[in-house]
């Protein structure tokens, strides 16, 4: 009796499934399963000048390619140019003083662990069209933000 009930339920479930066309789109898009999925387009970053920041505390975006730049426990490629020891020679912006204090506010001689993995906060940019549109406006774009500050 129980088996018959289960079989009936499964048949019903199958019928419901078969009747309702799926309305959600899966991660592989609306591509039929037998077809190969299309590889996403890879956008290459072109090196540019440092980009303007949208708000005072924004981590600046990376204005150059970082392909193959290793950051691991033993080595940090970014610091070979951006550290205080190397920035002059490489012409890179030196990392900010804020990167030397730990979460208790202690000032350290070297980059704090919480700032070690640079790409947690700094990202390269490309000209790809946004997946989700963004209506963000910098705070200083609002007239009431700070009327004393001239803006263009």
Site for ligand HEC in 51-70 (CB under 6 A): 57, 59-60, 62-64, 66, 69
Rounded to an integer, what distance in angstroms lies between the CA atom of residue 16 and that of residue 145?
56
Rounded to an integer, what distance in angstroms lies between the CA atom of residue 149 and that of residue 152?
10
73 scored as a contact of ligand HEC (CB under 6 A): no
Annotation-wise, does 81 bind a ligand?
yes
Interacting residues of 37 by C-beta distance below 8 A, sequence separation 6+:
28, 29, 31
Stretch that binds ligand HEC, among 2-10, 75-83, 125-133, 135-143 (CB under 6 A): 75-83
Smallest gap from residue 67 Cβ to ligand HEC (A): 10
Smallest gap from residue 100 Cβ to ligand HEC (A): 10
Annotation-wise, does 122 bind a ligand?
yes
Listed residue (60, 45, 56, 52) closest to 95, CA to CA: 60
For the chain, state the CA radius of gyration. 26
Binding-site members for heme c are 64, 78, 81-82, 99, 118, 121-122
């Amino acid at each position: 009796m129980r088996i018959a009930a289960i079989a009936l339920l499964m048949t019903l479930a199958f019928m419901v499934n078969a009747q309702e066309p799926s309305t959600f789109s899966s991660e592989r898009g609306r591509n039929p399963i037998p077809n190969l999925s299309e590889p996403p387009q890879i956008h290459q970053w072109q090196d540019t000048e440092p980009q303007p920041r949208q708000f005072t505390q924004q981590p600046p975006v990376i204005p150059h390619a970082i392909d193959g730049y290793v950051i691991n426990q033993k080595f940090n490629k970014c610091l070979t140019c951006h550290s205080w020891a190397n920035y002059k020679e490489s012409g890179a912006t030196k990392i900010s003083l804020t990167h030397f204090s730990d979460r208790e506010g202690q000032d350290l001689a070297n980059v704090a662990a919480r700032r070690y993995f640079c790409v947690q906060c700094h990202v390269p940019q490309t000209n790809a069209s946004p997946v989700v549109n963004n209506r963000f406006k910098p705070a200083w774009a609002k007239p009431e933000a700070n009327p004393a500050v001239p803006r263009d």
